[in-house]
Structure 1
C-alpha cells in the first residue's frame, strides 16, 4: 500500500461513524481495485483520482430508505475536499475527484462526464452484482427489516414486485439490469458475467423452493 492510499484509508476510518458493512473500508478497497483494473485495461484514467475517489465516494453514508439518499454522493464530494487539500493532489485533480464522487451514485442520477467518473461509477456498480451483490442485497434487506422472498409467489408473477418488502424482488427491479447501465465496455463485460452468476443463484433458489424460473420474463433475464 502506498503512503497516499494509507492516508486516504486513515481519513476514511476517522470519518466513518456508520456500522453499514456494505459501505465499509473493504467495500472502498474493492471499488479501488475494480476501478484500477478497468483503467489499466483501457489504458486511460488518472490513477490518483481513481484511488482517492474510490476511498472517499461513500464518505457520507445516507441510509437507502432515507428521503435524502439521493444527496449522499454530493455530500460525500463536499466532505472530501478538506481531506484532499491535505494530500499531494492538484486543484484540477480535486475537481475531478469530486465530480467522480458526485456522479457515482445510482440514485443521484448525475451524468459522469470524465473517464474517471465513468470508471468509478462502473466499479461501484460491480459491487451490486455477482456473489458480492447477492451478499450485499440480503445484508441491506436485513438492515431494512425486509423479508427474504415471497414463499408463495417467489418471482412476483401474481403480485407487484416490491423490493422494500422482499429482497429477491430487488434482483428484477434493479440488479439484473445494471450491466446495461455500465459506462465502459470493460465494466459491461464483468457486470454481464456477474449477472449470469446471479441468475444461476436465482434458478437454484427456484429449484429449492418449488418454483419454475421465469426465464421468458425480461425482468428476470
Structure 2
C-alpha cells in the first residue's frame, strides 16, 4: 500500500511515522507513506494556499489550484483507489471503514486547514470524506495520522501475530473482553481461574460472554446496530 498525504504543515506528520509499529511497517516495506507540502504547488511567490472566502465571513479558505496541481501530479504517476478529504462533516471513521481502506492499493489523504477547502475541490477531486469525530481540530493532520495508524496495522505482516487485529474491539461489533497477564495475584486482585484451565473452548466462550456484557454496559448502541 502507498499513502500520499497532502498538508500545509508537514511537520505535524513526522513523528507518527518515525516510531513504533508504523515505522516498522514502513521499514519492512509493507507500506509507503509520503507527505507532500501543499505550498510546493502554490502559484505565487508568497506560496499562498488560502484566500478570503467569497461573500464575506470569518476564516480563510484553501485554494483549489495548488490542491488540483498536487493531486493531478500524483494521479499522473499511478492510479488511486481513494482520494480522501479529512473534514469534521465527513463520514465518521470506524473499524469497518479501516478494514475496507486497508485493502486498497494506493490512497491520497488531503488534510483540511483554515476554514476548509474550496467546495469545488470536494465536488470534483475527492472520492471520500472522513471525520474522526464530532469535534473540530486545527487541521486534518492529526486525523490523517489516526486513519493511517488504524489501517496500516491491519495490513498483513505488520503485526507480529496476524490474529491480534481480528480480536480488537469493534471487529465483530463488540468491545474486546477483559485481558490479564502476570502476576496471577496482585494486592488481593486475582485473575479468573478459568484462564489457567487449559480448556480453550470454555475460555473462548467466557471471552465471548464478557465481550457481550462489556458492550452491553459501555456501548449498548453497538448491539442495536
TM-score by length of 1: 0.29
* Larger gyration radius, structure 1 or structure 2: 2
> Higher relative CO (CA 8 A, sep ≥ 6), structure 1 or 2?
2
